[in-house]
Amino acid sequence: MRKMSLFLSLYVSLLAGSAFAQDPKSGLAASFAAVEPKVIAWRHDIHQHPELSNREFRTARIVAEHMRNLGFDNIRTGVAHTGVVGTLVGGKPGPVIALRADMDGLPVLEQTGAPFASAARGEYNGQDVPVMHACGHDTHVAMLMGAAEVLALNRDQIPGTVKFIFQPAEEGPPPGEDGGAIMMIAEGVLDGSDAPEAILGLHAWPGDSGTLMYRSGGFMAAADGLQINITGVQTHGSSPWLGVDPIYVAAQITTAIQGIPSRHLDITNSPAVITIGSIHGGVRGNIIPDKVEMSGTIRTFDGGIRETLHAKLRSTVHAIAEANGATAEVIIEGYAPVTGNHPTLLRQMMPTLEWAAGTENVHESALITGAEDFSFFQERIPGLFLMLGINDPDVPRSERPSNHSPFFIAEDSALMTGVRTLVGFALDYAAAAGD
């Protein structure tokens, strides 16, 4: 009996050892340790030298040179203007997967006080503007560069092929230009012999440093740009009855359309938001102008709700304009569909996320009304999009600057969780999907 027990214990131990040896992530500790200071240095450098959408020339050169030095099998530059795509073929047979990072900054004046704060400037809409990585794209680039190095140094452990997509213009291309994820897809990044079957993206978020946040299904809102052009009749400010005041009409429209989500939609089904962020009209206080231009954004989480909201918005605007003797033009341009997490893929990869961040650091998130053009990739192939916490947990959540704030900044301590997540997805996807 004792011999049988000893035999079973030895057999179980051998099985456990064999399973451990088959885990391609088990021998990466040294690679992660070696790349961490590089990731931090890349992040600081990129943060200090941000570039606006479709103008990410310096960042693209750094990324392309890095992949050349790592011996990537194929590198494409100039994709969707400034995008870079690199392909790394692993040492084992398997599928093709993609990892994506966005590269562009924003026209924001940085006020973080960080030693690597940006003093860069650029041109936006014909104006000279400050430029800042106010949405964490500097961390996205640095983390994907780090993952590229770890995977290249351990390519014999990769089951299949990894495609690295460094995307420009996630914040939206400049007026009159194409760009972003939709243009990269149009230029073939998801096609050909190395077409990926799944994709992963990460985004810096004001959660606790090193945490990963997910939500199955729809996660981030669909976003539409809104432009309303109102035409009245110009007259003297002392005699408004002699003309048609488009500013007065714009004020009524602003109030009315913001009430559509709360008064005309079933908010128990799906939330929605309409915001007017810009109103321009007139040149001086005693002249009622003939035109007012309004611009804003629409956020929804459901296709049916989106269509209903658009229709109600148009009818409301036209009715208010007509009632006041004005005319109105409504232009709605889609930015991105809903971004989310493919339920089956999320379930399959959950052990990898828990390995990357620690089980206690992987949390389900509430809906986020921000939007992401990563959703265009997900329209073609299953994808995961995860929020990476980047803030000191001792700072109250109410005091953490939001994305797009001039005070937005990421803790360096969060970066390696992102690198581990990207690497883990590349190494585990084949087995997880097979299971």
- The tokens 């640095």 sit on which residue? 142
Question: In 103-207, which residue ranges form alpha helices assigned H by DSSP?
Answer: 137-153, 180-186
Distance CA 30, CA 50 (A): 31
Residue 80's alpha-carbon distances to 100, 141, 398, in angstroms, are 14, 17, 38
User: In the numeric block, which tokens belong to residue 98?
Assistant: 């993609």
Distance CA 48, CA 59 (A): 11
CB 396 within 8 A of CB 327: no
| AA letter at 135 | C
Burial of 48 (0-12, 13-18, 19+ CB in 10 A): middle
Beta strands in 255-391 (DSSP E): 272-280, 287-288, 291-300, 327-336, 339-341, 362-364, 383-391
Report the sign of the C-alpha dihedral through residues 34, 37, 41, 46, in that order.
positive
CB 215 within 8 A of CB 203: no
User: In the numeric block, which tokens belong to residue 92?
Assistant: 């084992």
CB 258 within 8 A of CB 276: yes
CA–chain centroid gap for 268, Å, is 26
CB 309 within 8 A of CB 290: no
Beta strands in 174-216 (DSSP E): 199-208, 212-214
CB 330 within 8 A of CB 321: no
Residues carrying an active site annotation: 104, 170
| AA letter at 251 | A
Burial of 259 (0-12, 13-18, 19+ CB in 10 A): exposed
**For the packed helices 415-434 and 29-48, what is the interaxial angle rounded to 10 degrees?**
130
Cα radius of gyration rounded to whole Å, the chain: 25
Distance CA 166, CA 153 (A): 20
Distance CA 370, CA 199 (A): 20
